[in-house]
Amino acid sequence: MACKTASYVLVALCLLGLAAKDAAEATQLVPAVFVFGDSTVDVGNNNYLNSTKQARANYPKHGVDFTGSTPTGRFSNGFNLADQLAQLLGFPMSPPAYLSLTAKTIVSQMYQGINFASGGSGLADKTGLLGAGEVIPMSLQVQYFSKVVAMMQKLSGSKRTKTLLSKSVFLISTGSNDLFEYSLSGGDGDDGEFLLGFVAAYRSYVRALYRLGARKFSVVSITPLGCTPSQRARRLSEGGTRGCYGPINTLSLRTYSMLAASLRDLADELPGMAYSLSDSFAMVSFIFANPRTNAWSNQTATNTRFTELESGCCGSGPFGALGCDETAPLCDNRDDHLFWDANHPTQAASAIAAQTLFAGNRTFVSPINVRELALL
């Protein structure tokens, strides 16, 4: 599987205008990576919570392509976005889940980074509680990080802590669950008010992390959520037609420009703040329009393609949207699928996303990419 996934990285380099020399870095570019968000970047925090079945990724099929085919709490067949971006920054994979660390192991790990993300969580404290049970909302993730910062300051002093945090990358991938729940509730008739609150919450957490010492932010915007298997199944169920679910796609698209404007304002206001924002809606839309290509590397042509853009690899029912658990069917070749399950990308799709965040051009990431952010 590793070779097949690498081929998708080559597709990303070819399709998204990346330079081959940026495909990998031999050295660690930053001292640490700290991860915040939802199931797109969770590496096992939910395994330690009283979460519902659908909010955990600890079933045999999860991690089928991970080392040892072991489920690790990642909502993927292998590495997720946090892992693959960390690898491009010079780390073996994402830092470990905060709740997996003991009083002893956290002392050494915190200087290299920690992952606070929680599947099902969102910007609002209430997001995820109904469907996922116990989650770690962004407010609590930031609180956990503040405890880590206090520990670092106690052990290493404020100056060393400030220097390390200012050079580290803070990856944030959240907000999708807030949109899912708002859409499923039918909204309140004023999408504009909801979106203003959404962006205000996002801005407040960036500010909070900045106050704690963060300076370099890699922000992952919202993808076309209406094109996930779960929302395709929703459209089929509600309207009897196939295709992406339009209303939530419209919401997803609108968040990007508002978030981009908010981050620009923050960067102007907060001394030393820098950020890299992905246009994830454009990225995924590009893949839908260009699922096949020929990529060249070291004078070798590799034909790669996604042959399944609608259904999840692991799951039953229409579009494989009924859940990836012990009884769910599993596709034979995960690298052919854009989606792993009802809502999450495969390892192959995450590889393209990570490469784009890391070394993409201004079409998909702005004002700089993560490699440029790390080198500031």
Active site residues: 39, 341, 344
CB 259 within 8 A of CB 203: no
Q: Count of alpha carbons within 13 Å of 111, Cβ hemisphere only?
A: 11
Helix/strand/coil for 185: coil
Q: Count each helix (H run) and each strand (E run) in the chain, helices first.
A: 13, 9
CB 98 within 8 A of CB 144: yes
CA distance 364 to 360: 6
CA distance 376 to 371: 9
The closest alpha carbon to 353, from 290, 282, 300, belongs to 282
Residue type, 191: D
Q: From residue 111, give the alpha-carbon distance in Å to each of 60, 154, 372.
A: 32, 13, 22
CA distance 202 to 259: 8
CA distance 372 to 143: 29
The closest alpha carbon to 99, from 80, 73, 120, 124, belongs to 73
Helix/strand/coil for 366: strand
Tokens of 173: 């991938």
CB 195 within 8 A of CB 307: no
